[in-house]
């Protein structure tokens, strides 16, 4: 899922302080699950923001609402009837949701309350780890299920850089395991070291234009 964290309160305050009626919209998807932008976080942000703004002499009307997902217009119906009544909207979704919201309501200023940080998994409650940078050409089959784009500081595809420490940590950060050390040992344990003997050609990283994907079963629906 997408992992996000709340922006500093001062930064959010600067975005909205000149608007009298602000609607803070949470998302029931990823940012709710990663404890950054669900119902509870909407309430906490509104409480903190109101307190700060009142303390500085503003008199805001700050309401909260949560929709199931901000990255799908099927969930916007209720919001459509509300947004017109506000001077600005704060979104507690990821950057995708914020952009979708801003596109849906082009007349209304839409501000991000979160920083979208990475694609990751729950390691434990409130603890998330980045696992994928959505490169679009997944190599996990050959690398023992360990992503060299995300977990190697240099994003290397053909083995370690030569700086791996003797204890198996990365030369860039002694608290981070070397991805290639881990890849090697996992493949060795599985008897699959042959997987990394073929040299991978350089990636075409310069081709990083905006991507869109239609799943195979839906291609007919959007054809033409
Ligand atoms: S190689 Fe890494 S960054 Fe690319 S799709 Fe696979 S997991 Fe994601
Ligand atoms: S030490 Fe390992 S993880 Fe760190 S940059 Fe070199 S190959 Fe990548």
Looking at the structure of the chain, the number of domains it has is: 2
Q: What tens digit of pLDDT does each residue of 31-89 get?
A: 999 999 999 999 999 999 999 999 999 988 999 999 999 999 999 999 999 999 999 99
Same-domain pairing of 15 and 86: yes
Q: What tens digit of pLDDT does each residue of 124-172 get?
A: 888 899 999 988 889 999 999 999 999 999 999 999 999 999 999 999 9
Answer whether residue 20 is part of any domain: yes
Buried b (16+ CB within 10 A) or exposed e, 93-127: bbebbbbbbbebbeebbbbbbbebebbbeeeeeee
Same-domain pairing of 7 and 78: yes
Same-domain pairing of 47 and 90: yes
As a whole number, the mean pLDDT across the chain is 94
Q: What tens digit of pLDDT does each residue of 91-130 get?
A: 999 999 999 999 999 999 999 999 999 999 988 888 899 9
Query: Is the pLDDT reported for residue 4 higher than 90?
Result: yes
Contact predicate 42/92, CB 8 Å: yes
Same-domain pairing of 177 and 84: no
Neighbours of 14 (CB within 10 A): 12
Domain boundary among 118, 146, 181: 118
Same-domain pairing of 72 and 180: no
Same-domain pairing of 10 and 107: yes
Ligand 2 neighbours, Cβ below 6 Å, are 152-154, 156, 160-161, 163-164, 170-172, 178-180
Same-domain pairing of 15 and 91: yes
- Note down the domain range covering 187: 133-196
Q: What is the pLDDT of residue 197?
A: 93
Same-domain pairing of 106 and 56: yes
Answer whether residue 178 is part of any domain: yes
Write the CATH number for 31.
3.40.50.2300
Q: How far is the CA of 189 from the centre of ligand 1 (A)?
A: 22
Contact predicate 101/95, CB 8 Å: no
User: Relative to the CA of 163, which ligand 2 atom is closest?
Assistant: 1
pTM (two decimals): 0.88
C-alpha to C-alpha distance for 44 and 9, rounded to whole angstroms = 11
Q: What is the pLDDT of residue 214?
A: 84
């Amino acid at each position: 899922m997408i992992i996000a964290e709340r922006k500093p309160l001062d930064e959010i305050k600067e975005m909205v302080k000149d608007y009298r009626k602000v609607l803070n919209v949470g998302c029931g998807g990823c940012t709710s699950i990663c404890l950054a932008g669900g119902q509870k976080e909407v309430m906490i942000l509104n409480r903190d923001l109101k307190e700060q703004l009142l303390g500085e002499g503003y008199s805001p009307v700050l309401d909260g609402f949560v929709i199931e997902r901000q990255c799908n217009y099927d969930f916007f119906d209720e919001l459509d009837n509300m947004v017109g009544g506000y001077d600005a909207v704060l979104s507690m979704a990821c950057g995708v949701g914020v952009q979708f919201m801003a596109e849906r309501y082009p007349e209304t200023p839409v501000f991000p309350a979160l920083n979208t940080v990475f694609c990751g998994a729950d390691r434990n409650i409130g603890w998330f780890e980045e696992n994928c940078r959505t490169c679009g050409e997944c190599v996990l089959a050959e690398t023992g299920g360990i992503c060299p784009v995300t977990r190697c500081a240099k994003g290397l595809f053909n083995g370690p850089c030569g700086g791996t420490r003797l204890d198996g940590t990365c030369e860039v950060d002694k608290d981070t395991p070397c991805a290639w050390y881990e890849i090697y040992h996992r493949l060795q344990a599985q008897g699959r070291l042959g997987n990394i003997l073929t040299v991978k050609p350089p990636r075409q990283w310069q081709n990083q234009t905006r991507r869109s994907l239609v799943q195979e079963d839906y291609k007919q629906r959007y054809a033409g």
